[in-house]
């Protein structure tokens, strides 16, 4: 009997190969899309899953307030938090401190070797986190000052082997570190991926007894992770923080009219739900992940809907078959099993085709989404689990309703040739079509808004000129008494070269957050409660000129005025934070800045230091003649590879022992939009696939409904209806369904895109065309889809149409 079911299913598929092909292709596209997105989502959700203690590790996130107003949200907060909380709260089993050290240089032979991600780490790092050791002891690896643990790759890069315990390496030609452990390279699905771990006790020793970080509540920049004891309630632990902070630093905070709160972040949530200052690596976006997951299921559900629609629409054609089977003794249970067998057969074909589509699509999907899926995907259990799940659910959902509908026909009625279509069946089909196009409209509106927002951000004036700017990363060695003279000579040699107009040095450049965060700044003579927090960029005399900042009050830094080293320039937001309504009011005012006094000599217009996702920040430009940082070099449009070679040669001449790491600033700034661009491209791709699958189903459904109305069309033509009248009749029904879909999708889409846009400080407004254009597009696409059969029916000879019965 089972063999007979599949034989009949195969014969039906061959007989109706057009509709079977639509079903198989639609299901395959839906499954392939869903599988690709599921792998992306699976990766994003897998962060920190390898950590044995992942359910007990929490990061201490810090919020600083100024007069009750939130000023800064830190991932890397106060240095004293970890040890202070551990000593006072018994529910805390252990803690880890991580301090980003910035890139460092060691040596490979006679050549400098740059290490991108070193961290100072406290002694319990290998106890709390799961980073398996290749050699060394976890308990003692990071205890002593000037010891280090190396990743497997770093050990091979420096020494050519992992057998390096007891060997030493020199950091920035200043300090030797002894290797005490080698650990396996961190997997990609973790936020902390250190190349080198330097002992935190080294940092304490370097700071000296007068600057002990273990008691520093007002310094920020230390990542603190707590390991809670089994059964400990994180909310109870968190509730004990305020009392500890108040006792340790409450008086100082009140003096500055400031406050601070500490919150525990589950380690597993950090990657998708954290984007604070001092993050050790760029994080993902939980909203994006779940939105893509919803799109995946939209597509596959649309494919299942197609199957249901076509199967129920073909019910009349299958009615006599059902009637005969029932008349010769088939039970309803057997008929249900037969039709489910047909669904299973078509879904098997769709599964095979979906695997082929995934195989072909992996390289393109990686380029589009920024993921790193490979063909090893097919060796992963979760891939096959997802595929089997989609198959089983697809067979059940897409085959169950048609099976019950078809098996429910009464043999006496259908064998007499009476119509078996029902109002409820028509309503269901129309409802499913409305769902398909509502989902497609929702996705299309979302895609258009994402595209418009990206275009809006990229077309807005930054208020700063980043064109034709080559940037060299700061020198890591050679920062001695001769540095200022060498930098001055380097810049003079640069501007004398063809293709170079000027150069400047600064601690920060556009396209990244300003990492110099300075609190406690106030006007001279003002009450300490008026102290404010600012971002500070250390610059030389040429910074304003090269970056084209607009001066709106006062003057720029200039050697014509003697020593400007105690002058600062504010941006408009910083002036407003200081309490002035007009920029001119701030000129000549003196400020207290960490024990020294500076004069505000100028005010510049706000500019976008980062992407338009971020709001303007209060910035202070502080003149530091011997500033060490990024070297920004303005080149002409005619600059070439020869210009870069010249810059490299001069760099190596004046700063030997440093690597020549350069990039062009406009490309660097655009990197901030990469995630949005990839999201928009991925969104667009799967939106188009959703529309394609919906249109495939609509084409099949239109073919059947037009076929069923052949006699009606013939009669109307005999009575004088024109081809236009017939087309209007056939189009009206589908246009009405799209209109209903539009009315349902629009409010949901508006709420969704408005919420998404709230994540941008500078955002496009939602124009009525963002709703009208997708509606018009769907109307045109849907009418074009049904046109083939509609036009064919409308121009057919009515004599042949009436002869069909």
User: Which tens digit of pLDDT belongs to each residue from 445-467?
Assistant: 988 998 899 889 988 899 999 99
pLDDT at 546: 94
Stretch 130-142: mean pLDDT: 94
The answer to the question of residue 475 being in a domain is no
Same domain, 15 and 75: no
The answer to the question of residue 16 being in a domain is yes
How does residue 648 score in pLDDT terms, banded at 50, 70 and 90? very high
Q: Which residues pair with 264 in a beta bridge?
A: 60
The answer to the question of residue 116 being in a domain is yes
Single out the residue of 6, 694, 691, 688 nearest to residue 349, CA to CA. 6
pLDDT at 559: 87
Average pLDDT, the chain: 85
How distant, in Å, are the alpha carbons of 114, 348, 536 from that of 388?
Answer: 47, 10, 56
Same domain, 29 and 144: no
The last residue of one of the domains, among 394, 421, 448, is: 421
Is 180 in a helix, a strand, or coil? Answer: strand
Tokens of 151: 């990743």
Residue 327, CB-side half-sphere exposure with 13 Å CA sphere: 12
Q: For residue 162, what are the contacts with CB-CB under 8 A and spacing of at least 6?
A: 134, 135, 152, 155, 156, 182
Same domain, 110 and 192: yes
Same domain, 262 and 411: no
Same domain, 102 and 164: yes
- Give 277's DSSP letter: B
Determine the Cα–Cα distance for residues 625 and 630; give it in Å rounded to an integer: 14
Bigger pLDDT: 265 vs 3: 265
Bigger pLDDT: 203 vs 368: 203
Q: For residue 740, what are the contacts with CB-CB under 8 A and spacing of at least 6?
A: 434
Same domain, 413 and 385: yes
Query: What are the tens digits of pLDDT across the range 535-544?
Result: 999 999 999 9
Same domain, 107 and 245: yes
The answer to the question of residue 581 being in a domain is no
The string of DSSP codes covering 631-658 is EEEEE-TT--HHHHHHHHHHHHHHSTTS
pLDDT at 419: 46
The last residue of one of the domains, among 232, 253, 273, is: 273
Same domain, 26 and 64: no
Q: Which of the listed ranges 338-342, 524-528, 546-550 does the model predict with the highest average pLDDT?
A: 546-550
- The domain total for the chain is 2
Determine the Cα–Cα distance for residues 741 and 708; give it in Å rounded to an integer: 24
Tokens of 267: 């380690």
- Give 386's DSSP letter: H
Residue 585 has pLDDT above 90, yes or no: yes
Residue 371 has pLDDT above 70, yes or no: yes
pLDDT at 286: 87
Which helix or strand (DSSP H or E) is residue 71 part of?
strand 69-74
Which helix or strand (DSSP H or E) is residue 534 part of?
strand 532-539
Stretch 165-176: mean pLDDT: 91
* Contact present, 382 and 327 (Cβ < 8 Å): no
Bigger pLDDT: 414 vs 598: 598
Stretch 420-430: mean pLDDT: 61
| Backbone phi and psi for residue 151, each to the nearest 5 degrees, phi listed first | -70, 160
Same domain, 301 and 405: yes
pLDDT at 678: 84
Least confident of 327-341, 591-605, 677-691, 757-771: 327-341
Residue 209 has pLDDT above 60, yes or no: yes
* Contact present, 658 and 105 (Cβ < 8 Å): yes
The answer to the question of residue 755 being in a domain is no
> In this structure, how many other beta carbons lie within 10 angstroms of the beta carbon of residue 233?
10
Q: What percent of the chain has pLDDT over 70?
A: 86
The answer to the question of residue 353 being in a domain is yes
Domain containing residue 17: 1-46+285-421
Same domain, 251 and 371: no
| Backbone phi and psi for residue 18, each to the nearest 5 degrees, phi listed first | -65, -50
pLDDT at 424: 53
Residue 227 has pLDDT above 80, yes or no: yes
Single out the residue of 430, 53, 49, 472 nearest to residue 268, CA to CA. 49
How does residue 355 score in pLDDT terms, banded at 50, 70 and 90? confident
The answer to the question of residue 38 being in a domain is yes
The answer to the question of residue 426 being in a domain is no
How does residue 316 score in pLDDT terms, banded at 50, 70 and 90? low
Determine the Cα–Cα distance for residues 524 and 751; give it in Å rounded to an integer: 48
Q: Please state the separation of Cα 800 from the chain's center in Å.
A: 59
Query: What are the tens digits of pLDDT across the range 27-55?
Result: 888 888 888 888 888 888 889 999 999 99
Same domain, 158 and 204: yes
Residue 414 has pLDDT above 60, yes or no: no
Bigger pLDDT: 329 vs 143: 143
Measured N-to-C along each axis, helices 710-718 and 674-708 cross at an angle, to the nearest 10 degrees, of 70
| Backbone phi and psi for residue 351, each to the nearest 5 degrees, phi listed first | -60, -45
pLDDT at 163: 94
pLDDT at 805: 47
Residue 682 has pLDDT above 90, yes or no: no
The last residue of one of the domains, among 211, 240, 273, is: 273
- Give 226's DSSP letter: E
How does residue 395 score in pLDDT terms, banded at 50, 70 and 90? confident
* Contact present, 499 and 636 (Cβ < 8 Å): yes
Same domain, 211 and 154: yes
* Placement of tokens 């992306």 in the chain: 40
The string of DSSP codes covering 31-50 is HHHHHHHHHHHHHHHTTTTT
């Amino acid at each position: 009997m089972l063999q007979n079911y599949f034989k009949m299913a195969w014969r039906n598929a061959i007989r109706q190969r057009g509709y079977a092909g639509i079903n198989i292709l639609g299901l395959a596209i839906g499954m392939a899309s869903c599988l690709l997105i599921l792998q992306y989502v699976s990766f994003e959700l897998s962060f920190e899953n390898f950590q044995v203690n992942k359910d007990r590790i929490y990061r201490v996130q810090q919020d600083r307030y100024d007069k009750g107003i939130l000023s800064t949200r830190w991932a890397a907060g106060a240095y004293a938090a970890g040890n202070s909380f551990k000593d006072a709260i018994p529910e805390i089993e252990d803690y880890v401190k991580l301090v980003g050290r910035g890139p460092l240089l060691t040596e490979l032979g006679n050549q400098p070797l740059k290490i991108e991600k070193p961290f100072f780490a406290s002694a319990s790092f290998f106890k709390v986190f799961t980073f398996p050791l290749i050699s060394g002891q976890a308990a003692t690896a990071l205890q002593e000052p000037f010891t280090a643990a190396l990743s497997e790759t770093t050990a091979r890069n420096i020494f050519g082997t992992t057998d390096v315990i007891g060997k030493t390496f020199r950091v920035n030609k200043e300090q030797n570190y002894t290797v005490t452990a080698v650990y396996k390279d961190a997997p990609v699905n973790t936020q902390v991926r250190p190349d080198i771990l330097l002992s935190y006790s080294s940092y304490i020793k370097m700071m000296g007894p007068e600057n002990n970080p273990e008691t520093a509540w007002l310094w920020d920049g230390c990542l603190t992770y707590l390991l809670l004891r089994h059964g400990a309630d994180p909310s109870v632990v968190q509730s004990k923080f305020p009392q500890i902070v108040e006792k340790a630093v409450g008086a100082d905070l009140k003096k500055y009219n400031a406050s601070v709160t500490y919150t525990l972040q589950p380690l597993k949530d950090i990657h998708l739900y954290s984007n604070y200052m001092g993050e050790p690596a760029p994080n993902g976006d939980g909203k994006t992940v779940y939105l893509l997951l919803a799109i995946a299921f939209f597509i596959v559900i649309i494919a299942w809907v197609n199957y249901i629609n076509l199967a129920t629409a073909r019910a009349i054609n299958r009615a006599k078959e059902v009637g005969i089977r029932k008349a010769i003794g088939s039970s309803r249970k057997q008929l249900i099993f037969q039709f489910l067998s047909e669904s299973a057969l078509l879904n098997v074909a769709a599964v095979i085709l979906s695997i082929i589509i995934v195989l072909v699509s992996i390289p393109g999907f990686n380029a589009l989404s920024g993921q790193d899926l490979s063909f090893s995907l097919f060796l992963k259990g979760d891939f096959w689990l997802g595929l089997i799940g989609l198959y089983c659910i697809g067979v059940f959902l897409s085959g169950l309703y048609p099976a019950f509908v078809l098996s429910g026909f009464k043999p006496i009625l259908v064998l007499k040739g009476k119509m078996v279509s029902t109002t409820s069946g028509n309503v269901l089909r129309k409802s499913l079509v409305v769902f398909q196009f509502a989902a497609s409209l929702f996705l299309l509106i979302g895609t258009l808004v994402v595209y418009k927002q990206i275009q809006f951000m990229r077309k807005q004036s930054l208020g700063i000129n980043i064109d034709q700017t080559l940037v060299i990363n700061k020198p890591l060695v050679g920062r001695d008494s001769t540095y200022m003279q060498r930098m001055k000579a380097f810049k003079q040699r640069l501007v004398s070269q063809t293709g170079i107009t000027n150069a400047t040095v600064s601690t920060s450049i556009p396209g990244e957050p300003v990492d110099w965060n300075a609190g406690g700044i106030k006007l001279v003579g003002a009450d300490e409660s008026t102290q404010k927090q600012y971002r500070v960029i250390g610059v030389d005399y040429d910074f304003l000129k090269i970056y084209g900042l607009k001066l709106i009050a006062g003057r720029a830094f200039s050697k014509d005025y003697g020593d400007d080293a105690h002058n600062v320039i504010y941006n408009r937001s910083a002036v407003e934070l200081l309490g002035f309504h007009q920029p001119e009011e701030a000129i000549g005012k003196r400020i207290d800045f960490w024990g020294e006094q500076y004069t505000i000599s100028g005010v510049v217009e706000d500019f976008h230091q980062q992407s338009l996702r971020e709001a303007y920040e209060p910035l202070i430009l502080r003149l530091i003649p011997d500033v060490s940082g990024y070297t920004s070099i303005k080149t002409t449009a005619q600059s070439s590879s020869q210009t870069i070679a010249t810059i490299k040669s001069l760099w190596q001449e004046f700063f030997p022992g440093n690597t020549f790491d350069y990039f062009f600033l406009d490309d660097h700034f655009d990197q901030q939009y990469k995630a949005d661009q990839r999201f928009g491209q991925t969104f667009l791709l799967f939106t188009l696939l959703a529309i394609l699958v919906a249109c495939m189903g609509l084409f099949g459904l239109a073919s059947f409904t037009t076929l069923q109305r052949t006699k009606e069309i013939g009669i109307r033509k005999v009575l004088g209806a024109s081809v236009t009248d017939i087309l209007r009749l056939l189009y009206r029904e589908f246009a009405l369904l799209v209109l209903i879909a539009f009315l349902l999708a629009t409010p949901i889409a508006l709420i969704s895109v408005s919420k998404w846009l709230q994540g941008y400080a500078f955002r496009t407004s939602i124009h009525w065309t963002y709703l009208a254009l997708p509606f018009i597009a769907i109307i045109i696409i849907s009418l074009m889809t049904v046109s083939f059969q509609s036009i064919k029916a409308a121009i057919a000879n009515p004599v042949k149409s009436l002869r069909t019965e």
